Structures are given as structure tokens and as C-alpha cells.
């Protein structure tokens, strides 16, 4: 059965189901469509489905024109999971958050599987792209599929291939980021490679789904630990009166043995704040305490409070308290030039400042209004930056350094600037490094 299945992908005759049309699933849908595959996108959000079918994007860096082109080439969005039966491949791109105890929440994966299980059939390739702990594909998905009477590796082909999207990165896209693929069996791996090799420039096969799952975690834990290190170094340097950004830039001139990571108000996005805890949770099953990873998590999660303390010190030097002060946060997205607010440290910074009695507003050209989120509900909208508006705030906190900001205006018109990104390289009495 494997040979004719591989031929479907070789000749672009396969129909692809992509479940979850967010920051991972939508770009992947567009890529498959662009090379001639027919794609059905599945999402539980009816508004997202309606907008996509009307060529309207819900992700800022993906244009309406790209959606319209995909629609003209046969892309359709739907909430009807029965259409999975028509598809030759099913790719799961659903969220994997943490619960309130910082434990893995697989509810989106398991709910999605419950919806598609009745419509699975022989010959399909099933790929999980959601970040998760090693063993999820084998321990959770494989038994559910085989309960349907389908033998993995013979009737259907199960793989894990972690997403590697980096929204807003102009240097890499879905096509050019190498794709790691691990299969439950050798036949599964071959099927997985066939699925992706027409749309991704480089495929990186690994020996198992567990190895692929661990690869994704290592990538993001590497970043989380190094960011934690440099955030801690920032605190030490600050106490010593040293500019940590100057130190990092100088160290980065070494052509080997050093990779530059930069401090900030905390870590954001769906990966770095979440993924390390998937491994720490699973490691406990094997009697391993991941002290290094958890320490980095503690340092990074403490950064919003560090910034709040810097705001308090700056106001205190002007004989003011946080309570009752007007504070403006610049940037609610977790990284510059995107509209993605998932796990953004700016949200916690806003929460903490409000909790201390400040009157807080924000400005972000990429986030017009703050939506209701699982943890926060602020009901705020972005304010326009002008010389007169900036002058009304007792302190301005630069949390995300969007290119769209007029930094000269901000410096000229603001009373105090708490710079958490090291944007301002020069010294000034009104700029406080945080």
C-alpha cells in the first residue's frame, strides 16, 4: 500500500487536511496549496472559517491576497470534520498550553482526535505538529487510531513533525525551514517524508517520533535557558553599573564559542515559555529533576516584576509612586513587528502595574485592541503616539521595540523611559535601562 500512497504526494494528487488554522496551520495550508495540493483547513472558530473563505486574514503578517490566491487554487476552510474522510493526509496543528499547575494540557489534541477518529480510513498519513512531550504520539494517538481497527504502519501512517514557524522573520518561511520528521514505523517515516518533501526544501528524518518530539523541546529549551542566563546577567550588570547590551555586543565579536542572546521583560510566544515544562513534567516519570530548566524558568518568569521595580525606582526618583501614576506600555506583542500576544510578558507587566494602582494604557501598531484571553481581560485599545500624548504619562515602558515606533519622538516627548529592550544605546537622564 505504501508505494501508491507515496505516488499521491509525488504527483500532487493528495488532498491535505490541516486542523488548526492559526500561526502554524495557516502558513502550512498556504504552502501546500501553492504547489498544487488541494487543502481543506479545519478550525472550531466559525468566524475564522468564514473570514478565510471570504479571503480575509486573521494573522497580520499573512495578507488577504495570499488567502485569496489560496482560495482560487482550491483551499477551503470548514468546521465540518466529516470532510477528513476525503483527505489523504491529516496534519494536526492545535495548541498545547499548560494548565494552571504548569502541567501539559493535551485537551486540544485529544478533542481533535475525538472529532476526526470516526472519519479516519486506510491509506491516510496522520501527522502531529503540536509541541508536546516525548511519547505523546505513541502513547496517546497510536492507541486511539488502532481502536478504530486501523493498524499503524500498515493501514495508516503516523508521524510526528514539529512546527518551526517564526512569525515575522523575513529570512525564513515554511518552505525554507528544515522539517524534522519521525515515524512510528519505518513505513510511517517514508510516508511522512513523502508528505512533506514537495513543500519543504529540506527534510530531516529521525529514528522515532520520540526523537522528533525531543528535538523540538531541545530547540526551545536551549533558547529558554540561554535567555534565562542573560536575564540573570542583566541583573548583575545593572547592580554593577554595567550596560549588559554593550557587554553582549562585545562578546558577540568572538567568532566562535559564543551566541548572542538578549535580555528583555520576560519571554513570550507559544514555545519558549511553555515547552520546557513539557519536558520537566515528563522527566519526573523517570525520576529526573530538571533543575537547570526550572531555574531558567524561574528567572525568566520573574522579569516582569524586575521591570515593575525599575519603574517604581524611576518614579521614586521623581518623588512619585506607582499608585496613581500614568504609565504607558509600548508594545503588547511578545516580539517586534508581529501581532502575536501569546504569553507576552507585556500582559503580565500590565497586570502588575494595574495591581499596584497605576493608570496604565498601551500603544502597539500591531495590536489595535486587547482581546479577552484565558488569563487576562483588560478591555483596552491602543493609544496614538504624539508629542502631547506622550508628555501626559509619568513613565513610558518600552516593552516591545516595533520598527513602526518613532523612537526619536518617544525620547523627545516622554518624561521617563524604562527601556527593557536596550534600544537606546546612549546615556540619558530620562532613559532607565531595565
The answer to whether the beta carbons of residues 15 and 33 sit under 8 Å apart is: no
Reported confidence tier of residue 2, pLDDT bands at 50, 70, 90: confident
pLDDT (mean) for 229-240: 96
β-partners of residue 89 are: 16, 125
Report pLDDT digits (tens) over 135-184.
999 999 999 999 999 999 999 999 999 999 888 788 899 999 999 999 99
Give the pLDDT of residue 304. 96
Lowest mean per-residue pLDDT among 5-9, 41-45, 233-237, 425-429: 5-9
pLDDT at residue 187 is higher than 90: yes
Q: CATH 3.40.50.720: which residues of the chain? A: 2-206, 233-433
CATH number of 2-206: 3.40.50.720
pLDDT for residue 4: 76
> Catalytic amino acids?
271
What proportion of the chain, given as a percentage, has pLDDT over 90? 88
The structure's pTM equals: 0.92
Q: Phi and psi for 125 in degrees, rounded to 5? A: -100, 130
Task: Provide the pLDDT for residue 393.
Answer: 98
In this predicted structure, what is the pLDDT of residue 193?
97
Assess whether pLDDT exceeds 90 at residue 7: no
Q: Span 183-194, mean pLDDT?
A: 97
CA distance 212 to 129: 10
Which residues pair with residue 152 across a beta bridge? 156
**Plot region of 158 (φ>0 → left; ψ -120 to 50 → alpha; else → beta):** beta
Q: How confident is the model at residue 3 (pLDDT cuts 50, 70, 90)?
A: confident
**Which pLDDT belongs to residue 386?**
96
Tens of pLDDT along 93-123?
999 998 888 889 999 999 999 999 999 999 9
CATH code reported for the domain at 233-433: 3.40.50.720
What is the predicted pLDDT for the residue at 427? Answer: 86
Tell me the pLDDT of the chain averaged across its residues: 95
- The predicted pLDDT at position 164 comes to 94
Say if residue 229's pLDDT is above 80.
yes
Cα–Cα distances in Å, from 396 out to 307, 310, 408?
12, 12, 14
Look at phi and psi of residue 123 and say left if phi exceeds 0, alpha if psi is from -120 to 50, else beta. left
The more confidently predicted of residues 202 and 372 is 202
Identify the pLDDT of residue 31.
97
Q: Percentage of residues in the chain with pLDDT exceeding 70?
A: 100
Q: How confident is the model at residue 8 (pLDDT cuts 50, 70, 90)?
A: confident
Residues 242-256 have a mean pLDDT of 96
5, pLDDT greater than 90: no
Give residue-wise pLDDT tens across range 260-304: 999 999 999 888 888 899 999 999 999 999 999 999 999 999 999
* pLDDT on residue 323: 97
Retrieve residue 358's grid coordinates. Answer: 497605576
Amino acid at each position: 500500500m505504501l508505494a501508491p500512497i507515496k505516488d499521491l504526494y509525488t504527483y500532487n494528487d493528495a488532498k491535505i487536511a490541516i486542523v488548526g488554522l492559526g500561526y502554524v496551520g495557516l502558513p502550512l495550508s498556504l504552502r501546500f496549496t501553492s504547489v498544487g495540493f488541494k487543502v481543506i483547513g479545519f478550525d472550531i472558530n466559525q468566524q475564522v472559517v468564514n473570514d478565510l473563505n471570504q479571503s480575509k486574514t486573521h494573522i497580520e503578517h499573512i495578507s488577504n491576497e495570499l488567502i485569496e490566491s489560496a482560495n482560487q487554487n482550491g483551499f477551503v476552510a470548514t468546521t465540518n470534520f466529516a470532510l477528513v474522510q476525503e483527505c489523504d493526509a491529516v496534519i494536526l496543528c492545535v495548541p498545547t498550553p499548560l494548565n494552571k499547575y504548569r502541567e501539559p494540557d493535551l485537551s486540544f489534541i485529544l478533542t481533535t482526535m475525538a472529532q476526526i477518529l470516526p472519519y479516519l480510513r486506510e491509506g491516510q498519513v496522520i501527522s502531529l505538529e503540536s509541541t508536546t512531550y516525548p511519547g505523546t504520539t505513541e502513547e496517546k494517538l497510536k492507541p486511539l487510531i488502532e481502536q478504530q481497527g486501523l493498524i499503524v504502519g500498515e493501514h495508516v501512517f503516523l508521524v510526528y513533525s514539529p512546527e518551526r514557524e517564526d512569525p515575522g522573520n523575513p529570512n525564513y518561511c515554511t518552505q525554507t525551514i528544515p522539517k524534522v520528521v519521525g515515524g512510528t514505523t519505518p513505513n510511517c517515516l517514508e510516508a511522512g517524508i513523502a508528505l512533506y518533501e514537495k513543500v519543504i526544501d529540506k527534510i530531516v528524518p529521525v529514528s522515532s517520533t520520540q526523537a522528533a518530539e525531543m528535538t523540538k523541546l531541545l530547540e526551545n529549551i536551549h533558547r529558554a535557558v540561554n535567555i534565562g542566563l542573560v536575564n540573570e546577567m542583566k541583573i548583575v550588570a545593572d547592580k554593577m553599573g554595567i550596560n549588559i547590551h554593550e557587554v553582549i555586543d562585545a562578546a558577540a565579536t568572538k567568532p566562535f564559542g559564543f551566541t548572542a542572546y538578549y535580555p528583555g521583560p520576560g519571554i513570550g510566544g507559544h514555545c519558549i515559555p511553555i515547552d520546557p515544562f513539557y519536558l520537566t513534567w515528563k522527566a519526573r516519570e523517570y525520576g529526573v529533576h530538571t533543575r537547570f530548566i526550572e531555574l531558567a524558568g524561574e528567572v525568566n518568569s520573574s522579569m516582569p516584576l524586575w521591570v515593575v521595580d525599575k519603574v517604581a525606582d524611576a518614579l521614586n526618583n521623581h518623588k512619585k509612586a506607582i499608585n496613581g501614576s500614568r504609565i504607558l506600555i509600548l508594545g503588547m506583542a511578545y516580539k517586534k513587528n508581529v501581532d502575536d500576544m501569546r504569553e507576552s510578558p507585556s500582559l503580565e507587566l500590565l497586570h502588575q502595574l494595574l495591581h499596584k494602582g497605576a493608570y496604565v494604557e498601551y500603544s502597539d501598531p500591531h495590536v489595535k485592541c486587547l482581546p479577552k484571553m484565558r488569563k487576562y481581560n483588560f478591555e483596552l485599545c491602543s493609544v496614538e503616539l504624539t508629542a502631547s500624548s506622550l508628555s501626559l504619562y509619568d513613565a513610558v515602558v518600552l516593552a516591545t521595540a516595533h520598527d513602526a515606533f518613532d523612537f526619536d519622538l518617544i525620547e523627545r516627548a516622554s518624561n521617563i523611559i524604562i527601556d527593557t529592550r536596550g534600544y537606546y544605546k546612549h546615556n540619558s537622564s530620562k532613559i532607565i535601562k531595565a
